[in-house]
Amino acid sequence: MIARRRAGTTEIRRDDRDRLGPFGRFYVTFVVVAVVGPFIPLLIASFAFRWNWPDLLPSRWWWEARETARLPLGWDYVFSPVSRVLESAGNTVLIALLVTLLCTLISLPAARVLARERFRGKSFVEFFLLTPLIVPEIAVGLGILVTFIQLGLAGTFTGIILVHLIPTIPYMVRVLTSVFQGLSRDYEEQARVLGAGPLRTMWHVTLPMIMPGVIAGGLFAFLISSNIFLLTFFIGRGRIETLPTLLFSRVSGGGALDAVAAGVALIVCIPGIIMLVLTERFIKEEVFAKGFGG
Amino acid sequence: MTELRLAALVKEFDDFTAVDHIDLTVAPGSLVALLGPSGCGKTTTLRMVAGLEHPTAGDVLFDGESVVGVPTERRNIGMVFQRYVLFPHMNVAKNVSFGLRMRRVSATEIERKVAEVLEVVQLQDLARRFPSQLSGGQQQRVAIARTVITDPRVLLMDEPLSNLDAKLREEMRAFITRLQRQLGITTLFVTHDQVEAIELADRIGVMFDGRLVQFGTPEEIFNRPRTKRVADFMGTNNLIPGRLDVQRDASTLVSVAGPLQCASGAHHVSGEDAIATVRPEHIDIGTPNGPLQGPNRFTGRIDDAVYYGGTLTYRVVADGLSLQVRDRSTRRFAVGEEVTVHIDPSHLWVFPE
């Protein structure tokens, strides 16, 4: 009897956990509305031809005006070469990929040392790595611009990639430091004992084991890089357009949300969403996920 | 088979000396246990042999050749860590073949050897499993298989049994002994468990505070401890404290129960505090006024009796001494009964307090 009643109790408890209480339901609804909500006007605006305040919906839609217009409108314009949207998207992704790669290569050894070794001035190095997050971008950007103009790096891809490393490296180093702290030295030592030199230990043991963390850090770096406006704007000098700078030039006029600006704004979100989906799938399907106590 | 020798090995860290002038030789094909409490420097010693720690001074020699300048991966050693450290992203076969792959052995040879070694450790059916799908004992056997597959010159083991439960530990102990004898690998084994050391090792080195305090066969260490700390650590029975009185040809330990004549010991300086020890089976026991004669006789009372493994072990309290006495004869004494105990001087071992 008692046993049965106990079993019943635990079942009820499990049900409770699956089903949210009134506060939980409110909270989830709130989060969904807060995340998805802002996109709805953007989506509507991108399909509008005329949308005046205080109308709830556009009075004239893009496809209604499409036939009669002499110039490409709305999404037609967004995807036409004149808008430079596709070119900027390509630039954004290319820059973000290279920044992610470089940032990972630079941060891996740094994070390893910060996680494993004790040395004089370590806390200073840690603080120094955080300063890009503390110092305003505009101050850094102006200083770098002056230098880069003299070096001939202003307005070049190299220049933009270099400045994008400034805000991405602190994040990457932080993520990877905690990843290395979570990886016992024993694994690398065991590999050495079994006859693997430092490079092969890194390749066969360390990297596969920290891969989920590297991917998480890479995702961060990619997203940060593809969202940087100010530094790209300064160093690119208008010669190299990325999605954030393009969007800025579209909306800087007067803040009116025209269909093209709305379209560009939506496209700016795409790299991040693609990365998120890819990462999620990759981490889930990873063969070695098995090894991590799964 | 390789001879491993440590010569005046020293390791200093920032603020303390972890290993303090250790001299030790592991004979080819034998198993030596480094025994000591945690923090005594035994693991640091092992890591210096592996090349994972660089000695501050002294030398590590394989067959008389220094390996201090040789990086870990080229020392051709095997090491089993306390936590097995199997690579979680590789299955059993890949884990076991890791060392061979690093030595660029051909694929067919790898396949043959992996099958062979997995059979030795009785894991041939689990080759495709991942470490997280194995029990502790199986993981340990994979770790050992991975280590011995490369025919290491020296095998190092760092408390390999401490993560296993009691029953499994016993099985693994037997397994390691068998494997080590079979393969004849020179082995250095680190443990804090004296039972483990006694059962596994050909020789035991007892370490305290970075120093090698005593080195000898398990029997020597257990029955003839050099210091009180060793005796305490080994769980040696029947420690009788007293003061030494050394005459020309005989020494006497004056204990609370009276003078004890002793024949052998670690040192003999008159007037010093010392401890005598005797094995429980070397104490004769009989009825009062019985046939027991000679020196070192006490009368006492049976305090406790435990029957274990075919013999009776009594606790006898005699004149302020508490002695364990193992009696192989068929007579029985009851608890509370008055008895006489006798210790032959040749069975008493004296060492400094």
| Mean pLDDT, range A42-58, rounded to an integer | 81
Specify whether A68 is located in the same domain as A88: no
Specify whether B205 is located in the same domain as B317: no
Specify whether A214 is located in the same domain as A127: yes
Specify whether B142 is located in the same domain as B275: no
Specify whether A219 is located in the same domain as A279: yes
State residue B26's pLDDT score: 95
Give me the number of domains chain A comprises: 2
* Coil, strand or helix at A254: coil
* CB-CB contact of B160 with B140 (8 Å): yes
Specify whether B208 is located in the same domain as B263: no
Specify whether B252 is located in the same domain as B167: no
Give chain A's contact residues with B (Cβ, < 8 Å): 184, 186-187, 189-197, 200, 204-205, 208-209, 287-288, 290-294
Contacts of B52 in chain A (CB under 8 A): 189, 192-193
Specify whether A217 is located in the same domain as A107: yes
State residue B88's pLDDT score: 92
Specify whether B200 is located in the same domain as B254: no
User: Which structural domain, as residue segments, surrounds residue B83?
Assistant: 4-228
State residue A284's pLDDT score: 56
pLDDT at B309 over 50: yes
Where a domain ends, among B179, B196, B228? B228
State residue A105's pLDDT score: 94
Specify whether A155 is located in the same domain as A16: no
Contacts of A290 in chain B (CB under 8 A): 88-89, 130, 132-133
pLDDT 10s digits, A103-144: 999 999 999 999 988 888 888 988 888 888 888 888 888 888
Q: Does B94 reach chain A within 8 Å, measured CB to CB?
A: no
- Nearest chain B CA: its distance from A96 CA (Å): 29
Specify whether A113 is located in the same domain as A235: yes
Interchain proximity A192–B52, CB inside 8 Å: yes
pLDDT at A285 over 80: no
- Nearest chain A CA: its distance from B3 CA (Å): 19
- Nearest chain A CA: its distance from B143 CA (Å): 10
Give me the number of domains chain B comprises: 2
pLDDT at B273 over 90: no
State residue A17's pLDDT score: 55
Where a domain ends, among A73, A108, A135? A73
Interchain proximity A184–B88, CB inside 8 Å: no
CA gap B231, B279 in Å, rounded: 12
Choose the closest CB to A190 out of B81, B89, B130. B81
Specify whether B156 is located in the same domain as B13: yes
* CB-CB contact of B55 with B11 (8 Å): yes
Of B93 and B307, the structure prediction assigns the larger pLDDT to: B93
pLDDT at A215 over 80: yes
- Nearest chain B CA: its distance from A191 CA (Å): 8
Interchain proximity A193–B73, CB inside 8 Å: yes
Question: Which chain A residue shows the shortest CA-CA distance from B74?
Answer: A195
Specify whether A12 is located in the same domain as A148: no
Specify whether B169 is located in the same domain as B91: yes
Nearest to A155 by CA among A144, A166, A139: A144
- Nearest chain B CA: its distance from A190 CA (Å): 7
Specify whether A101 is located in the same domain as A245: yes
Specify whether B101 is located in the same domain as B168: yes
* Residue from B100, B102, B133 to probe the interface with A (highest A Cβ count within 10 Å): B102
pLDDT > 70 fraction of chain B, expressed in percent and rounded = 97
pLDDT at A290 over 60: no
Interchain proximity B74–A195, CB inside 8 Å: yes
Choose the closest CB to A194 out of B89, B130, B146. B146
State residue A255's pLDDT score: 53
Interchain proximity B150–A195, CB inside 8 Å: yes
Specify whether A66 is located in the same domain as A113: no
Q: How confident is the model at residue A2 (pLDDT cuts 50, 70, 90)?
A: very low
Question: Which chain B residue shows the shortest CA-CA distance from A186?
Answer: B85
Where a domain ends, among A15, A48, A73? A73
State residue A274's pLDDT score: 82
Contacts of B105 in chain A (CB under 8 A): none
State residue A282's pLDDT score: 66
Where a domain ends, among B180, B206, B228? B228
pLDDT 10s digits, B101-145: 999 999 999 999 999 999 888 888 999 999 999 988 899 889 999
Where a domain ends, among A73, A95, A118? A73
Contacts of A200 in chain B (CB under 8 A): 102
| Mean pLDDT, range B328-351, rounded to an integer | 85
- Nearest chain A CA: its distance from B249 CA (Å): 55
State residue A164's pLDDT score: 93
State residue A278's pLDDT score: 77
| CATH number of the domain to which B38 belongs | 3.40.50.300
Interchain proximity B88–A292, CB inside 8 Å: yes
Specify whether A17 is located in the same domain as A119: no
| Mean pLDDT, range B282-307, rounded to an integer | 82
Q: How confident is the model at residue A188 (pLDDT cuts 50, 70, 90)?
A: very high
Question: Which chain B residue shows the shortest CA-CA distance from A200?
Answer: B102
Q: What is the mean pLDDT of chain B?
A: 88
Contacts of A208 in chain B (CB under 8 A): 87, 89
User: Which structural domain, as residue segments, surrounds residue A57?
Assistant: 2-73
- Nearest chain B CA: its distance from A196 CA (Å): 6
Q: How confident is the model at residue B28 (pLDDT cuts 50, 70, 90)?
A: very high
Specify whether A154 is located in the same domain as A184: yes
Choose the closest CB to A186 out of B83, B102, B133. B83
| Mean pLDDT, range B34-40, rounded to an integer | 91
Specify whether B183 is located in the same domain as B259: no
State residue B5's pLDDT score: 94
- Nearest chain A CA: its distance from B280 CA (Å): 44
Question: Which chain B residue shows the shortest CA-CA distance from A209?
Answer: B89
Where a domain ends, among B189, B212, B228? B228
**Beta B57-62 vs B4-12: how paired, if at all?**
antiparallel
Interchain proximity B87–A193, CB inside 8 Å: no
SS (HEC) of chain B: CCCEEEEEEEEECCCCEEEEEEEEEECCCCEEEEECCCCCCHHHHHHHHHCCCCCCEEEEEECCEECCCCCHHHCCEEEECCCCCCCCCCCHHHHHHHHHHHCCCCHHHHHHHHHHHHHHCCCHHHCCCCHHHCCHHHHHHHHHHHHHCCCCCEEEEECCCCCCCHHHHHHHHHHHHHHHHHHCCEEEEEECCHHHHHHHCCEEEEEECCEEEEEECHHHHHHCCCCHHHHHHHCCCCEEEEEEEECCCCEEEEECCEEEEECEECCCCCCCEEEEECCHHHEEEECCCCCCCCCCEEEEEEEEEEEECCEEEEEEEECCEEEEEEECCCCCCCCCCEEEEEECHHHCEEEEC
Interchain proximity A193–B77, CB inside 8 Å: yes
Q: Which of A2-16, A26-40, B122-136, B319-333 has the lowest mean pLDDT?
A: A2-16
Specify whether A193 is located in the same domain as A245: yes
Interchain proximity A290–B88, CB inside 8 Å: yes
| CATH number of the domain to which A207 belongs | 1.10.3720.10
Q: Does B52 reach chain A within 8 Å, measured CB to CB?
A: yes
pLDDT 10s digits, B202-238: 999 999 999 999 999 998 898 888 888 898 888 878 8
| CATH number of the domain to which B330 belongs | 2.40.50.140
pLDDT 10s digits, B141-197: 899 999 989 989 999 999 888 878 888 888 888 888 888 888 889 999 999 988 889
Specify whether B129 is located in the same domain as B270: no
| Mean pLDDT, range A258-273, rounded to an integer | 82
- Nearest chain B CA: its distance from A251 CA (Å): 49
| Mean pLDDT, range B4-32, rounded to an integer | 93
